[in-house]
Amino acid sequence: MFSIIKSFFLRKIINKKVLELNTDVPNEKIKMIGIIVDTTYFFDTEKLVSEIKSKNIPFKDIKVLSYNDKVKHKDSLTPLSYSIKDISINGEIKVIEVNDFLNYPFDLLISYFDEEKLPLLLAVSSSKAKFKVGFSKIDFKFNHFIIDSDTKEYINFISELFKYLKILNKIEA
């Protein structure tokens, strides 16, 4: 019962945040990348980051925020991870490191999940990132740019992403 009430309030909070999202995309080069990953079903986060680094573009940093909805014990989470248990009924995330991640103005935020889960949508809509990219299976209003791919095909996703980032003049060719 509590989870139904929590979901109801989270949905209202997310819808309000989506209406406040900035649709202006600055024409700046990408230096800092943030990635939000649903590690419930995607386990190759290191390979995803390695694929980004293999493009030989000098990014200052790449940070990953993990979400897992099947966490049994809080100690199994890394500092940059969260679960539904870390979100209050009013939509506040209780983990300081996660809030720091969301408040950081990344040049690019990659929403690496293709299933609409309220905690993930809350994170994306709360993020202060300047340019957001995600999958086409997620409602387009959460991202500035979407790519039609599958999460298991991370090499294809990153290849398509970098192809369009070059076209949009977000990275050096």
Tell me the pLDDT tens digit for each residue of 129-151. 999 999 998 878 888 899 999 88
Contact criterion met (CB below 8 Å) for 122 and 14: yes
pLDDT higher at 38 or 1: 38
Distance of CA 51 to the CA centre of its chain: 17
Looking at the chain, the whole-number percentage of residues with pLDDT higher than 70 is 89
Residues 74-113 have pLDDT tens digits of 555 566 899 888 999 888 999 999 999 999 999 999 999 9
In this prediction, residue 36 has a pLDDT band, given cuts at 50, 70 and 90, of: very high
Report the C-alpha gap between 141 and 125 in whole angstroms.
9
pLDDT at 78: 66
Q: What is the pTM of this model?
A: 0.88
Contact criterion met (CB below 8 Å) for 95 and 74: no
Report the C-alpha gap between 67 and 78 in whole angstroms.
10
Mean pLDDT of the chain: 86
Report the C-alpha gap between 51 and 42 in whole angstroms.
15
Report the C-alpha gap between 28 and 51 in whole angstroms.
22
